[in-house]
Every structure is written in C-alpha cells, then in structure tokens.
Chains A and B, each alone.
Chain A
Amino acid sequence: MEAALTILLDGLQFSSYLFIVSAGLTIIFGVMKILNVAHGSFYAWGAYTAAFFIGKFSDMGLPDALGFLIIVAAAIVVGVILGFIIEQGILKYMYERDEVLIVLATFGLFLVLEDIILIAFGTDPYFAYQPMALLDAVEMGGIVRDVYGLTLIGVAALVAVGCWWLLNKTKWGTLLKAVIFDREVGIAMGINVPLVYTLTFIGGAILGGLGGAYIAPTISVAPGLGTEVIVLSFAVVVVGGMGSIAGAAIGSLIIGILRAIAVHELPQVELFVVFAVMAVVLVFRPEGLFAPAKPRKI
C-alpha cells in the first residue's frame, strides 16, 4: 500500500514536470507546426537561471522564500528573451521552408544554446535546495513526502487550467484556434499572424523555462540537462497527440506513472518503457492516443 502510494506520488510528480515542459512544446507545435528541439535548452536555461539566482540571493542573506519569486521570474525572463530572439532572429525566416528542415534548424540552435550555458555558468553543478528546505516534509498515508515536490503537482494543474482557460475562454484563445485551423484564412480575416506566432513561441518557451526552474531545487543542475528532457517530452507529445494540451496532460500522466512503476519495480527498463510506448503509439496511432483524427484539408 505504502509502496503503491510512493509510486503514485513519484509518478504524479514526474508527470507534472513533464507536463509543464511538454505543454510548451505542444503549443508551439500546434500553432506553428514547429517541432522545437531547442525546447530542451529553454528547460536547461530555466533551471540554470533559477539555481544561479537562488544561490546568489541566499548568499546575500535574503529570505529563502524569495526563491519562489525567482523561479517564476527566471522562467519569464528566459522565455521572453530566448523566445523572442530565436523567433525573430531565426525561425521567422524559416516558415516557408520544409517542416523537417525547421526541426534541423532548432537542433542547431540546441547545440548553440547548450554551449552558451557552459560558457555562462561553467561546468560545475549548481545546488539550489533552499526553496525545498523551506517547505519541510509531511507524513501522509504512512510515507514521508517533501512538500515542495507536492506543490509541483499543483503548479502543473495550474498550468493545465490556465492553458484551458486561455484557449477556450478568452479572445486570444479564439484567435489562436483560428490560426491553428487555417493560417491563411486567419490572415485573410485580419488576424496578425506574425504577432500570434511570436507570442506563442514566447509562451511555449516560458513553460519550458518554468519546468526547468521549478525542478531546479530538487536536482543538481549540471550540463546535459536539456538532452534527456527533450526526448522525454517528444515521447509525451507523441503519445498524447502533437499539438493538443489535453494530449500532453494524458501523455505525461502515462509516461510519468509508467516510469515511476519501472523505477521502483524494474529499474532496468526505466528508459526503455518510455520509448517503447512512444514507438508503439506511433505505429498504431501516429496522430496520438487521444487526438481526434484530422479531416484532410484540400
């Protein structure tokens, strides 16, 4: 029973951070049709920026509670700056090109951003445990969990609700849906599509950064961080259906919980299981498990 609860909570926590990162990836794909490999770098940049400033603030003797502010600020700053530069500086000129070529361009960007991290932050790992230490631990159902990890689940839920609200209840959401459905008609209707693209990319980048910034206190922030995350979030969006927020949520739940089961019961298959699921879904339902099949547009 306690083991099951541990697996469930581990799985939920893992799903939560996967969801935050993948939501950004899937939004960018849904609107702009860009499979953004550089998304892994947004995550890494978020983690590094948050860890760096949490450490700095703590050294200066400021209260640790500021850590939470830093996390959010780091995500926004990283997302806005990197997102803006990349979209306006590079991707903007590629929209007419082949989809696959854009993937390759983002792979080039990924390489560049990875090394700028090394240059900016060095190769030594960062530890930013302060926000996590602040929140203590609780006992629930016979097991002890740290509260920080549990808040991660809350943040993911918040992101999910926020995305749903933005897409379905606001004017912006309606505009987005119009652009997703048909870009050209959107332009004809007077929607400022370039602006929508820029904002979408920045929004997605902020989510990628948030995933990294929020997870930073629980891990050692070291080089190579983004490499693993990006393939994991590819797996998530493929399983759930590319371009759908609900899909990202379901995909990250499936992958997060499967991985937690694997970690506890059969650690050898931890990575295998994730990508096996991804491959099987691609073979049998390439459009994703829960995405409705798309009508063919002429």
Chain B
Amino acid sequence: MFNDKTAKFILLAGLVLCVGGALAPNWIVNQFMFGFARALAILGLMVLWRTGLVSFGHAFYFGLGAYAVAILDIELGVTDVFLRLVAGAVVAGTAGFLIGFIMRNYRDIFFAMLNTAISMVLFGIVVKTESLGSTDGFAISMSTILGFAPETKYPLFVIITLIGLTSALLVNFYLKTTVGKLTTAIRDNEIRVEYLGFSVAHAIHLKYTISTILAGGAGALMAMSLGQVDPESMINWTVSGELVFVTILSGPGNVIAPFIGSLVFEVLRTYAFELAPQAWQLIMGATFLTIIFFVPGGIWSLLEKLGGKKNAK
C-alpha cells in the first residue's frame, strides 16, 4: 500500500502540511481546510469520472453529510469531530448504497439527471421545512476533539489533512486492485468487461457507494470548518456543478490531483471574489471552459508535463 511514488508523496506532503500549518497564518489554514474538505468529495467524483460517469447531483450526499452534523449537534449535542465525521459519512454512504441499486443501471446524461433529481428532492424538502432550518440553515457549535475543545482551528486542520491523506491512500490502493482497475475499462467498453467475467453493475455500485461516503464525509468536514450549513451552499444543484467543476479542474490523473485542484479552486474563488465581486462566477466559468477546451487532463496533466512525467505514476 505504501510502496509506490504516489503513496510516498502523500505521506511526505501530509507531514509537511501538518508542520507548516502550525506556522502558517490563520487565513491560509482556513483555505486549506475548505480546500481539503471539498477534496474528499472530489476524490469520489474522480473515481466516477474515470469510469465515465458524471454526477450532477452529488450535493445530495455532500448536503446529507453536512446536515447530519447539524442535526446531531442540535438534537443530541454531539460535538466530537470523529463522531460527526463518521455520522456524515455513514448517513450519506447508506443513502448512496441504497440509491446505488437504481443508479448502477444508468449511464451518461440519465445518470447525471437522476442524481440531479434526487439532490433537488432533498433541496426542496430542506428549503420548505422549518424544522430543518429552511433557507437559513443552522449554525453549528465548535467541534471538540476527544473531549477537549481546541482554541484555534489548527487541530481541526490537522485532522482534516490526516483524513484527506488516509482517504487518498485508500483510494489509491483501491484503484490498484482488480476491481479498482475496472474504472477505465468500463468507460472504454462495458461489454468487454462483462466478457472478462466481471459484473459492471456491481463495480459501478461499489464506486458509487465509495463516492457517496466520501461526499458525505466532505460535507461533514465542510460543515465543521464553516460552522454552519444552509441549503443554498450545500445542496442546490449549483453546488453539484461546483463539485464537478473542481473534478474536471483537478483532472483524473492521480489521487493527489483532487487536493491540488480544490486548493486552486479555493484560492481562485477567494481572489476572484476580492478582485471582482460582481464577476467571480464569470472568472470561474471562463476557467472551466478553458480547462474543458485546452486542458482536458486538468491541472494534474499540466503538473505531469512540468515534471517531465517524473512524478507520474
């Protein structure tokens, strides 16, 4: 599991980030927190994207994870980081596993649309239900770590980084197993995969469930980093679009890509918003189009070119 370049790089980068985070100013830590929290969802979408599936509705799982944290906090007063994270991932993963039975039969635009429909159902429920916070959402109390309440955001940042690192390692490992390698194979030719003796439906179901667990975890982490949840920025279809955007921006080349892509997205958005509050979406949209047209492999492919394929693996 640790004997390839990617895994070694992830471990090293994790170490550097955890140390660096202690020295870095607050706003940088914040950017990394948001970036890495989102990256978890992107990691899952990347697995789907490699399979040729694009979900235009993963905000459903992202939102489920976030709202699981909020509701646990309000109803039961659960503030522990790990409990919250597990709750978000389990709720979203369970929903994803069940919905996966239907979803595994869908491809292309129908797959994208069914995901959109399901996420908008949740959006419709949350927006119109007072007890779920309606359009205002909820504020979430500060997270505690195994009983002690941290004073800065640094501990939460370390936890998010470590969770991101672990997930990246696991997904990296998964993609190297036989079932994991079925990603591109399914994308290229499903019938051939069936003839090789694998069930395409099962493989897609597994990938879908993985992606929903990761999206739920990402939602939970995002809710904790932001300290609040609301439907407009957690469940609406534009959020799903944003997630897909970052996936394409990152590129499917490597499990490290989602983390770099999310950071770039976070920085891009912050600066675009500061530079031109009226035109930040324009800048994002134009970037997106540029990536689709000229850099189909995303940022990762640029890095590969820069590094002369040295780090590619």
Residues of A within 8 A of B (CB): 35, 37, 90, 93, 98-101, 103-105, 107-116, 118-119, 123, 227, 231, 234-235, 238, 242, 267-276, 278-279, 282-283, 286
Which of the residues B116, B123, B236, B284 comes within 8 Å of A234, measured between beta carbons?
A: B116
In the complex, which range does the number of interface residues on chain B fall in?
35 or more
A108 near B112 (CB under 8 angstroms)? no
Q: Do the beta carbons of A238 and B123 come within 8 Å of each other?
A: no
Distance (Å) between the CB of A123 and the closest chain B CB? Answer: 8
CB pair B282–A105 under 8 Å, yes or no, is no
Q: Which residues of B contact A107 (CB under 8 A)?
A: 241, 244-245, 285, 288
B117 x A103 contact (CB < 8 A): no
Chain B residues contacting A268 (CB-CB under 8 Å) are 128-129
Which residues of chain B are near A112, meaning CB under 8 Å? 281-282, 285-286, 289
Across the interface, do B128 and A111 meet the contact criterion of CB distance under 8 Å?
no
Does A267 lie within 8 Å of B289, measured CB to CB? no
Please classify the interface of chain B as helix (H, G, I), strand (E, B), loop, or mixed, using the class held by over half of its residues. helix
Could you write out 15 A-B pairs with CB less than 8 Å apart?
Answer: A35-B113, A99-B108, A103-B109, A104-B288, A109-B289, A112-B282, A114-B282, A115-B285, A119-B278, A227-B237, A235-B117, A238-B113, A238-B117, A276-B121, A282-B117
Of B123, B278, B289, the residue contacting A118 (CB under 8 A) is B278
A242 to B113, CA, bound (A): 11
Pick the contact of A108: B102, B118, B289 (CB < 8 A). B289
A118 partner residues in chain B, CB cutoff 8 A: 278-279
As a 0/1 sequence over residues 104 to 133 of chain B, the CB contacts with chain A under 8 angstroms (1 = contact) are: 001011101110111011011101110000
B200 contacts the other chain (CB 8 A) = no
Listed residue (A107, A116, A119) with the most chain B CB atoms within 10 angstroms of its CB: A107
Bound complex: CA A275 to CA B293 (Å): 32
Interface residue B13 (Cβ < 8 Å from any Cβ of A): no
Q: Which residue of A lies closest to B130 (CB)?
A: A268
- Closest Cβ of chain A to B9, distance in Å, is 29
Separation of A112 and B292 alpha carbons in the complex (Å): 14
Q: Which of B56, B121, B248, B286 contacts A275 (CB 8 A)?
A: B121
B293: which A residues are within 8 A, CB to CB?
A: 93, 105
Binding site for A on B (CB under 8 A): 52, 54, 56, 102, 106, 108-110, 112-114, 116-118, 120-121, 123-125, 127-129, 236-238, 241, 244-245, 248, 278-282, 284-286, 288-289, 292-293
CA A105 to CA B292, docked complex, whole Å: 7
**Which residues from chain B contact A271 at a C-beta distance below 8 Å?**
120, 123-125, 127-128
List 20 additional contacts besides A112-B282, A118-B278, A279-B114; criterion CB under 8 Å: A37-B241, A100-B54, A100-B109, A104-B288, A108-B292, A111-B281, A111-B282, A111-B288, A115-B278, A231-B116, A234-B113, A242-B109, A267-B128, A271-B124, A275-B117, A276-B124, A278-B117, A282-B114, A283-B114, A286-B106
Residue from B120, B245, B280, B286 with most neighbouring chain A CB atoms (10 Å)? B120
